[in-house]
Amino acid sequence: MATIVHEFDNTFEDPQKRPPLVVGDHSFHTVTEAVCRINESPTAPALWWIIFVGGVALLANLGAMIAYLFFTGVGVWGLNNPVGWGFDITNFVFWVGIGHAGTLISAVLFLFRQKWRTGINRFAEAMTIFAVICALLFPGIHVGRVWLAFYLFPLPNQMGMWPQFRSPLLWDVFAVGTYFTVSLLFWYTGMVPDLATLRDRAKTKIAQIGYGIFALGWNGSARHWHRYERAYLILAALSTPLVLSVHSVVSFDFATSQLPGWHTTIFPPYFVAGAIFSGMAMVITLAVPARVIYNVKDIITLHHLDVMNKCILATGSMVGFAYITEFFVAWYSGNNYEWFTFKNRQMGPYWWSYWIMFTCNVIIPQIYWFKWARTNIPLMFVISLLVNVGMWFERFVIIVTSLHADFLPGAWDTYSPTWVEYLTLAGSFGLFFTFFALFLRFLPIIAIAEVKGVMPRKHAHGHGHGGDGHGHLEAAR
Amino acid sequence: MHHAETIDIMQEPRHLERARTVGHQALFVGVAALGAGVAVALFGGKLDGFLKSYLVSYTYFLSLALGALFFVMIQHVTRAGWSVTVRRIAECITAALPIWLLLAIPLIAMAAKIYPWMTQTLLSPDMAALVEKKRQYLNFGFWAGRIVLYFLIWSWLAHFFYRKSIEQDSTGDPKLSHWMHQRAAIGLVLFAFSLAFAAYDLIKSLNPGWFSTMFGVYYFAGSVQGFFGLLIIVVAWVQSSGRLPRAITTEHYHDMGKFMFAFTVFWAYIAFSQYMLIWYANIPEETRWYLSRQTGAWAWFSVFLLFGKFILPFLFLISRWPKRMRELLIVGALWILLMQWCDQYYLIMPAENPESAGAGQLPLHLNDLLCFIGLGGIFIWAVTQRMASCSLVPERDPRLHEALAFENY
C-alpha cells in the first residue's frame, strides 16, 4: 500500500502544466485500497468515535427538545409578535444553504469539466443530503400544531382544503423536496460502481448482502459504464438548475413580502451565492479533519483545498457585493422605511449580529487573496468555521432585524431566543454529524472510480485487478 | 481526451489584413448613418428622441464589449484551456471600450434632454421631491464623473489583458499568464461594481423614482448572453475568411453555444426574479416601471422579449446538434444579438410615467435604425482595426495545446 504521509505541494502556479490531482505513488489498486480500507477496517479511528458519540449525544438532545416543543407548544421558543420567525427559520435557511455545495461540486463543476471535483464530490454530496435533512426538520416542527404538519403538502382530503398555491412557503416544499430527491439520486447513482467495489471485496456475509443490494448488480461491463455515464450527465444537467432554484425559492419566502430588508430583487442570486459560500466552507470544515483521520491527503490534496478556498473568496465577495448593493439601493430608493431598516441593522439593537455577519462573510475571506492563507490548513479550518458562523448570522440578521422593527413603531419588539432554541440548534448539528459519521464508516467517502479517471497515469498504468471493478474505467472514459 | 493529431499553430493562417478595409467601410457607413440621424433629429426637432435611440444602441454595443471583457477575465481567472483559440477575438472586441468613452461625450453633453432628474421640470412634483433626496448621487457632475471613471477602469483592464497577451505572442513567457490570472481576479471585482453602477447611471436613472437591486445583474446577464452571440459570429467570419481553419473546431462552437445557452437561462432567471418579486409585492413605486412596459403595445413587446430572448433560444439551443451545426448556430447567435438590442430598447424607451400620453406606444423611429447602424459601424471599425493588427490566436499561450486538442465528451 503506497500512502504518502507528508504534504505534497501541488498548488504550483505554473501555467504550462496542470497540477496532478492525485499525488504520491498511487496506482489504481492503491487508490481502491486507500478508500476501501476506511470502510473495511474492523475498528474506527478515535476521532471518528468522538464525532459519532458527540453527534449521537446532540441528536438525543434534539429529540428531547423536539419532544418538549411538541408537548408544550411553540411558546417554549422566544418567538413573539412581531418576531414570528427566529432560530427555526434561521436554522432552516442555514442548513439549506450548507446543502448547496455538494450538488454544485457534483453537477455544476462536472459541466464545467473541473476535474478536481472528483476528490471531494462524494462527501460533499453526502453533506448536502444530510444538511437538507436537517433543514427539512425545521419547517416541520415550527408549525405549532405539529399534528397538522401534513398540511404542508397538497394532499387531497374530504374537507377540500388545500395549501395556498400562491404562497412561496408551498413553493419551498416543492423546491426543497425536489432538490433533496435529485441530490439523493445523484449521490446514489455516482456511488453504484464504488458500492460494487466494496461488495466484491467484502469478507463478511452482512457486508456482501448489504453492499450487494445497493450495488444493483453492477458488474462493470461496458454497457453498465455507458448507461452510468449517460445517467450521470443527465442528472448533472437536471441538478444544475436546481442548485439555483432551491435557494432562489427560499429567498422568495422573504422577498415576495413587502417588508423592508426582505423585499429586494437581488435576493435570489444573492442567496444562491451565499449558499454556495457556506456550503464550500462546510466542505473545508469536514475535509480538513477527514483527510487527516483517514490519511487520504494524496487524494484530497492541498490543491483541492486551495481551489475551494478560491471559491470561498469568490462567493464571499459576491455576497459582499450584494450587501453593498442592498445598502446603496436602500438609500437610493429614497424610501424612509428601507433606509431605516438598513441603518437599524448596522446600528440598532442587533448591530453586533450585522457586524459578525459582515466581518465573517466579507472581510475575513479576503485573506484568501494570498496563497499562503489558501494553503495554510489550520487557518483555513478556522476560517471555514467563521464563515459558517457568519452565514448563520446572515440569516439571523435578515429575519430578526427586519421583523423586530417594521412599519409601526408601536408594534416593535425585540427577540431573545430561549435555551430550548439554542439546544435545538446544537441538536441539528447532532443530526448532521451522526449521519456524517455513519457515512464515513459505511460508505466509500471518495468517488474511487472517478478519481481513477483523473489520475495522471491512467493511460500508462496497466490494470486488471479483477474484482476491483475498475478495470473497465478506461474503456468508459 | 484524445490527441488525434497535433496542430502546428505556426502553419495556420492567423492574420486577417482584410479586416482593416472592412473596418474602414463600416466606419464610413456608420458615420454617415449617424450624420443622417442627427440631420433627421435636427430637422424633425426631436433631439431627445434621437438621444434615446442613441442610448439604446450605445448601451447595446457597450454590453457586448463588456461581455467580452468579462469573458477574457473569466478565462484567465479559471485558467481555462478550451477557450485559448477564441480568446484573442474577445480581446479584440474589447477594443471598442475606449472608443465608447468618446461616444459618451454627446450623451453627457445633452444628458439633460433624456435624464429627467437633471431638469426637475420633466417630473411630477412628487417625483421631483423624491429625486431631491437622491441629489447627492444624482447630480450632473458626479454622474458624468462616474461615467468617465467606469470607462477608465474598463479601458485600462481591456488594454492590460490585450497588451500582455500580445506580449506573450512574441516572448512566449508563461509568467505573463500567471500575471493575467492574478490581475483578472482583481479586475472582476472592479468589473462587478463598475458594470452594476454603470447600469444604474446610464439606464436605471432614466426612471429616477424606480429602484431594483437586481438591475446591475440584469444588465450583466444580457451582456454576456449577447456577447456569446457576437463571439460566434466573429469566429465564424474569421473562419469563413480562411483563417484559423483547424485551430477552431466544432468543439469550440459547441462550447460557445453552451455558454450562450447557459446565459440565456441565466438572463431569464434574473429577469423572472426581478419581475416576479416586484409583481408579487405590488408596491406602487416599484410596479410603476413595469406598468410602463405593460401598457398598450409595450405589453406585446414584453411578451415578445419573453419568447424571443428566452423561450425560443432555450428550445433551440438545448439540444446538442444545433450547437454543433455551424450554420444553425450562427442563426441562433444573430437572433440573440437582435434580442439583446430589443432588450435595451425595452429598458430605455418606455415612458417614465405610465400614465402619460402616448405611454402605450412603441416610439419606433428611423433614428433607432440609423443609430444602430451608426454605432454598429463604429463598433465594427474599432474591433476590426485591432483584429487586422495582430495574430487572431494567442499563439504562444502555454495552454494553447489544450485548446487545439480539445474535444467534448
pLDDT-based confidence at residue B406 (cuts at 50, 70, 90): confident
Asked if B398 and A16 come within 8 Å (Cβ–Cβ), the reply is yes
Q: Is residue A3 part of a domain?
A: no
Helix (H, G, I), strand (E, B) or coil at A333: coil
Chain A CB contacts of B200 under 8 Å are: 332
Asked if A266 and B213 come within 8 Å (Cβ–Cβ), the reply is yes
> What's the pTM value of the predicted model, to 2 decimals?
0.94
Mean pLDDT of B268-282: 96
Q: With an 8 Å Cβ cutoff, is B212 touching chain A?
A: yes
Closest CA to A466 of A118, A122, A189, A196: A196
Asked if A267 and B273 come within 8 Å (Cβ–Cβ), the reply is yes
> What is the chain A residue with the closest CA to B276?
A256
Its ipTM equals 0.94
Asked if B130 and A334 come within 8 Å (Cβ–Cβ), the reply is yes
Q: Is residue A361 part of a domain?
A: yes
- Are A92 and A135 in contact, with CB atoms under 8 Å apart? yes
Interface of A with B in 352-411 (CB under 8 A): 369
Q: With an 8 Å Cβ cutoff, is B320 touching chain A?
A: no
Q: Is residue A195 part of a domain?
A: yes
Distance from C-alpha of A254 to C-alpha of B228, rounded to nearest angstrom = 34
Q: Is residue A11 part of a domain?
A: no
* DSSP assignment string, A77-128: S---SS---SHHHHHHHHHHHHTTHHHIIIIIHHHTT-TTHHHHHHHHHHHH
Q: Pick B273's closest partner by Cβ from A258, A263, A265.
A: A265
> What is the chain B residue with the closest CA to A108?
B262
Q: With an 8 Å Cβ cutoff, is A16 touching chain B?
A: yes
Chain B CB contacts of A326 under 8 Å are: 213
What is the residue-averaged pLDDT of chain B?
93
Asked if A334 and B209 come within 8 Å (Cβ–Cβ), the reply is yes
> Which of B213, B289, B314, B409 should we substitute to test contact with A (largest number of A Cβ atoms within 10 Å)?
B213
Distance from C-alpha of B164 to C-alpha of B65, rounded to nearest angstrom = 18
Closest-CA distance, B249 to chain A, in angstroms, reads 18
Asked if B181 and A255 come within 8 Å (Cβ–Cβ), the reply is no
Q: Pick B277's closest partner by Cβ from A16, A255, A329.
A: A255
H or E segment and range at residue B272: helix B250-281
Closest-CA distance, B174 to chain A, in angstroms, reads 6
Chain B CB contacts of A333 under 8 Å are: 211, 285
Q: Which long-range contacts (CB under 8 A, 24 or more apart) does A138-143 make?
A: A138/A88, A138/A89, A138/A91, A138/A92, A138/A95, A138/A428, A139/A89, A139/A92, A139/A169, A139/A172, A139/A173, A141/A66, A141/A69, A141/A70, A141/A88, A142/A74, A142/A85, A142/A88, A142/A89, A142/A92
Q: Is residue A13 part of a domain?
A: no
Chain A CB contacts of B196 under 8 Å are: 321, 325
Asked if A333 and B211 come within 8 Å (Cβ–Cβ), the reply is yes
Q: Is residue A6 part of a domain?
A: no
Q: Pick A16's closest partner by Cβ from B174, B274, B276.
A: B174
The pLDDT score that the predictor gives to residue B352 is: 85
Regions of chain A where pLDDT drops below 70: 1-8, 457-477
Residue B14 DSSP class = -
Residues with Cβ within 8 Å of residue A127, at least 6 apart in sequence: A98, A99, A101, A102, A279, A282, A283, A286, A436
Distance from C-alpha of B59 to C-alpha of B147, rounded to nearest angstrom = 12
Mean pLDDT of B397-404: 91
Distance from C-alpha of A251 to C-alpha of A168, rounded to nearest angstrom = 9
- Are B103 and B121 in contact, with CB atoms under 8 Å apart? no
Q: With an 8 Å Cβ cutoff, is B79 touching chain A?
A: yes
Q: With an 8 Å Cβ cutoff, is A225 touching chain B?
A: no
Q: Is residue A12 part of a domain?
A: no
Asked if B211 and A325 come within 8 Å (Cβ–Cβ), the reply is no
Q: With an 8 Å Cβ cutoff, is B168 touching chain A?
A: no
Residue type present at position B22: V
Give the CATH number, domain containing residue A78. 1.20.1630.10
Task: Provide the sign of the torsion angle of the four alpha carbons A239, A243, A244, A246, taken in this order.
Answer: positive
Q: What is the pLDDT of residues B311-353, one digit of tens each?
A: 999 999 999 999 999 999 999 999 999 999 999 999 999 988 8
The pLDDT score that the predictor gives to residue A147 is: 87
Longest C-alpha distance within chain A, in Å? 77
- Are B365 and B345 in contact, with CB atoms under 8 Å apart? no
Q: A–B: how many Cβ contacts below 8 A? A: 86
The pLDDT score that the predictor gives to residue B389 is: 93
Chain B CB contacts of A13 under 8 Å are: 178, 181
Q: Pick A332's closest partner by Cβ from B211, B273, B399.
A: B211
Question: Domain segments of chain B: what residues?
Answer: 2-404
The pLDDT score that the predictor gives to residue A93 is: 95
Closest-CA distance, B51 to chain A, in angstroms, reads 25
Closest CA to B80 of B392, B407, B400, B408: B400
The pLDDT score that the predictor gives to residue A194 is: 93
Chain A CB contacts of B131 under 8 Å are: 334
Bigger pLDDT: B234 vs A110: B234
- Cα dist. B76→A302, A391, B268 in Å? 21, 29, 27
> What is the chain A residue with the closest CA to B130?
A334
Q: Pick A256's closest partner by Cβ from B181, B216, B277.
A: B277
Q: With an 8 Å Cβ cutoff, is B214 touching chain A?
A: yes
Asked if B283 and A329 come within 8 Å (Cβ–Cβ), the reply is no
Q: Is residue A287 part of a domain?
A: yes
Closest CA to B352 of B343, B342, B363, B341: B363
Task: Provide the sign of the torsion angle of the four alpha carbons B2, B232, B378, B97, taken in this order.
Answer: negative
> What is the chain B residue with the closest CA to A253?
B277
Number of domains chain A is built from: 1
Bigger pLDDT: B122 vs B313: B313
- Cα dist. B353→B274, B279, B286 in Å? 20, 17, 12
Closest-CA distance, B16 to chain A, in angstroms, reads 28
Q: With an 8 Å Cβ cutoff, is B236 touching chain A?
A: no
Distance from C-alpha of A366 to C-alpha of A358, rounded to nearest angstrom = 12
Chain A CB contacts of B212 under 8 Å are: 265-266, 329
Distance from C-alpha of B128 to C-alpha of A222, rounded to nearest angstrom = 72
Q: Which three cell numbers stand for residue B406?
A: 480539445
Residue-range definition of the domain harbouring residue A279: 20-152+163-476
Residues with Cβ within 8 Å of residue B77, at least 6 apart in sequence: B181, B184, B185, B188
* DSSP assignment string, B102-140: HHHHHHHHTGGGT-TTTSGGGS-HHHHHHHHHTTTTSSH
Chain B CB contacts of A266 under 8 Å are: 212-214, 217
The pLDDT score that the predictor gives to residue A465 is: 38
> What is the chain B residue with the closest CA to A332?
B134
Q: With an 8 Å Cβ cutoff, is A322 touching chain B?
A: yes
The pLDDT score that the predictor gives to residue A27 is: 83
Interface of B with A in 125-164 (CB under 8 A): 130-131, 133-134, 137
> What is the chain B residue with the closest CA to A229?
B409
The pLDDT score that the predictor gives to residue A6 is: 54
